[in-house]
Amino acid sequence: MNGEFDLDFKEIDDLLKALPDAAQEKVVLQAARAGGAVIRNAAKENAPYDDSRTSGTHLRDAIKVKKIRKTGQFTAGVTVGVKSKDAPHGHLVEYGTVNHKAYPFFVPAYLAVKETAIKTMQGKMIRAIKNTAKRIGRGR
């Protein structure tokens, strides 16, 4: 499943373009992190958890929001997923195996909160654009 989505908000885009490039990237990244956190938190709530385990990383604790880095182009985004180093079995739990039934935790969380994540990003972008414009206006 591809969990990417683009925000197409004409008014926000116009306001964003009025900012310097570095400020644009910072605003978009803040918004993406806020939206990613909504998805991460929902996935953590859905993830199976065994409190009798005393070692290793629990699956829910390996669900992270991570900045996407691409060189040579403007990129301000995040990815939300299970950190495979800490929980290499995340995909096996989500989709199941020949021997184990699937326990979907991530996809249902994403689908349940996608609209909330978008609204969170919208709000964060508007606040960040206003705050950045104020700082620029004061000469900072």
pTM value is 0.81
Query: Among 37-41, 54-58, 115-119, which is the least confidently predicted range?
Result: 54-58
Look at residue 114 in the predicted model and tell me its pLDDT.
94
- Buried-state track 24-63, b at ≥16 Cβ within 10 A, e below 16: bbebbbbbbbbbbbbbbbbbbebbeeeeeeeeeebbbebb
Q: What percentage of the chain carries pLDDT values higher than 70?
A: 86
Name residue, tokens 């326990």. 103
The per-residue pLDDT of the chain, averaged, comes to 84
- Top-confidence residue, 120 or 137: 120
Q: pLDDT value at position 7?
A: 53
Q: Quote the pLDDT of residue 85.
A: 86
Residue 1 is predicted with a pLDDT of 45
Q: Which residues contact 81 (CB under 8 A, 6 or more apart)?
A: 63, 64, 66, 90, 106
